Amino acid sequence: MSETKLREDICRFGRSLFERGLTPGSSGNISVRLDDGGWLVTPTNASLGFLDPGKMSRLDANGKLVSGDAPTKEVPLHTALYQTRAARAVVHLHSTHSVALSMLPEIDPRAVLPPMTAYYMMKCAPTALVPYYRPGDPAVADAIKGLAGRYSSVLLANHGPVVSGDTLEAAVFATEELEETAKLYLLLRGLNPRYLSPEQVTDLIKTFGLVLPDHPH
């Protein structure tokens, strides 16, 4: 896919996420890896609803700005995911229900959500929790690297989700699935809902070739 098309796609998906209230104001950032090893990333203090494809930050393989506006301060976060996973895109949002989930005391850092739906398991499960770091803190990169590439979806405590994917579309869809599952969890919290059984999870793994790290479910 051409760089021009990728720039346009970042703007298109960014506007969709913004207009549906999944990342307010100038929060959130999106990046896409290019064939030459460099990547495109949304600029700092830019609203995902009003991105300009010509002003997108273009970084080289070492994360140095080549052209465009200054990049998001979350570059270390994106870099850590690219270094530990064979990802082509990363989406980081401040979506309400995922942030709320990251603040609950009972969630397991190795799997913040139980196996609630088939599509959550297929698109982004399990999801790890990373402790709180201030936005832009380079130390978050070490925390992500500590997960050793086992997780495609991560929750930053008191901050928001970070999801990687083989394509930008896949990363966006997985982020949306994580947000909807977090919403379901909050709606059902304390009501003793029925989750997928171990046998049902095993069936999904076998049928769709899912690769899940060890987790308590």
Of all residues in the chain, the percent with pLDDT exceeding 70 is: 98
The 10s digit of each residue's pLDDT in 109-120 is 999 999 999 999
Q: Is 151 annotated in the active site?
A: no
Apex CA 184: angle with CA 180 and CA 185, to 5°? 115
The 10s digit of each residue's pLDDT in 71-129 is 999 999 999 999 999 999 999 999 999 999 999 999 999 999 999 999 999 999 899 99
Question: Per-residue pLDDT for 54 more than 90?
Answer: yes
The 10s digit of each residue's pLDDT in 177-216 is 999 999 999 999 999 999 999 999 999 999 999 988 864 4
Question: What's the chain's average pLDDT?
Answer: 95
According to DSSP, the residues that pair with 77 across neighbouring strands are none
Q: Which of 82, 119, 133, 195 is catalytic?
A: 119
Please give the CATH architecture assigned to the domain spanning 3-208: 3-Layer(aba) Sandwich (3.40)
Question: Amino acid identity, residue 102?
Answer: S
